[in-house]
Amino acid sequence: MAKPYLGVWIDHREAYLIWLDESGEADVQHAEAEYPEEGQRAGRAIAGRGGAYGAVAPHMHLEEKQRREAKRFYDKLFRAMRTAERVYIFGPGKAREELSKRLREHKDFTGHVLAVEGAEKMTHAQMAARVRSFFGLRRAAV
């Protein structure tokens, strides 16, 4: 059965994709970003722009390293989200607005971002319950 409803809890370090079908059954996926920390070297550039494997030159400023990782993180999320018909985005900080903006600008995304709301850290069960409530779905019978 297709899972047309998607809730995304996101911050700048990680994201949880909570997929729901019409019966309210949840499937949770997790993705982590790999932001370089202050004083951390991101590895040697091998060839070309950013290296053959997307590595960042060690001399690159921390902000540029973080900007590149944010782009990779959002692109990874987009690939996972591209089939969603209806999307609800929630989480702390600015990451939720950044993801929403990127989705709305992406020409291949045909779904609809229905809402973007603030939320603190939650358990998987709390996330799934919030997404079910947002879409007006009941929990699947066991």
For 11, the 3-state DSSP assignment is coil
Per-residue pLDDT averaged across 22-38, rounded? 81
Domains and CATH numbers, the chain: 5-135 (3.30.420.60)
Query: Model pTM?
Result: 0.76
pLDDT, tens digit (0-9, with 9 covering 90-100), for 52-61: 455 555 556 7
pLDDT, tens digit (0-9, with 9 covering 90-100), for 33-45: 876 554 444 444 3
For 136: left if phi > 0, alpha if psi spans -120 to 50, otherwise beta; the answer is left
116 in Cβ contact with 67 (< 8 Å): no
Higher confidence at residue 74 or residue 55? 74
Per-residue pLDDT averaged across 47-71, rounded? 64
Lowest-pLDDT range of 22-36, 40-54, 77-91: 40-54
